[in-house]
């Protein structure tokens, strides 16, 4: 199984009200998916000040092209978590007494909720290895991947209710290189989810055009969304 993840928003920033981790898994065929996405992304101009196309300035048509490409892969599954940052305390956002870890532990906590759902085995799977690729650079080099590997192994394998499957290996890698098409797609998903919830649930003014746009994007992805988790006032289903 192959899993690709990215976040949108910043957990320890005062900018914006929401924080998102989103990703997708595919059982196999990641190279073919990457090639298909390359055909799409190669047509887009790079974002200003970036060596690749970012979702932050993608047009509605560009987002639709990426999402429609993802929908052509049968085993693809999407999961996301969206958090109202006002419900996260300052000590939960960063670990001030461990600067080398900083906000990485908080990020791992939230992204693990997404990985946990995406890592549920496919029906006909014979492998118990999950290859997880995260957009970004680790704060602790190889130790970051090791710590996340240990955390995921405990979080997914140890619960008493989980008697049906276990994962003997999580292969964790971080990648900040430009034009990694699978991670670019994860960036598009995470950004769209953030903007969707901002527009539909947190907009100070109800902009019908924005709401309509992001509801259309969401409707494309919806058939592949297997889990959605959120932490909002009065509606927490974390």
Please state whether the predicted TM-score (pTM) of the whole model is above 0.75: yes
Q: What is the mean pLDDT of the chain?
A: 88
At 170 the pLDDT is: 83
**150-191 pLDDT, tens digit each:** 888 877 776 555 556 666 678 999 999 999 999 999 999 999
Q: Which residues are 80's β-sheet partners?
A: 22, 228
Which of 38, 41, 3, 37 is closest to 22 using CA atoms? 3
Q: Where are the domains of the chain?
A: 2-231
Architecture of domain 2-231: 2-Layer Sandwich (3.30)
Q: Tell how many helices (H) and how many strands (E) occur in the chain.
A: 7, 6
> Alpha-carbon Rg of the chain, whole angstroms?
17
Which of 112, 194, 92 is closest to 154 using CA atoms? 112
């Amino acid at each position: 199984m192959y899993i690709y993840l990215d976040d949108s928003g910043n957990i320890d920033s005062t900018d914006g009200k929401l924080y998102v981790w989103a990703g997708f898994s595919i059982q196999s065929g990641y190279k073919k998916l990457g090639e298909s996405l390359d055909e799409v992304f190669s047509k887009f101009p790079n974002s200003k000040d970036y060596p690749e196309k970012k979702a932050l300035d993608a047009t509605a048509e560009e987002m639709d092209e990426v999402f429609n490409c993802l929908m052509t892969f049968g085993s693809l599954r999407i999961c996301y978590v969206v958090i109202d940052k006002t419900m996260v305390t300052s000590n939960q956002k960063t670990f001030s007494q461990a600067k080398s870890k900083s906000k990485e532990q908080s990020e791992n906590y939230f992204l693990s909720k997404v990985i946990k759902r995406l890592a549920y085995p496919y029906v006909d799977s014979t492998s118990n290895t999950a290859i997880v690729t995260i957009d970004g650079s680790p704060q602790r080099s190889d130790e970051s991947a090791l710590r996340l590997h240990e955390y995921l192994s405990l979080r997914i394998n140890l619960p008493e209710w989980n008697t049906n499957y276990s994962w003997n290996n999580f292969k964790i890698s971080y990648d900040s290189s430009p034009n990694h098409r699978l991670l670019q797609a994860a960036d598009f998903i995470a950004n769209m989810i953030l903007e969707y919830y901002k527009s539909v649930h947190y907009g100070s003014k109800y902009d019908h055009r924005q709401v309509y746009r992001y509801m259309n994007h969401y409707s494309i992805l919806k058939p592949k969304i297997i889990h959605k988790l959120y932490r909002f006032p009065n509606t927490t289903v974390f």
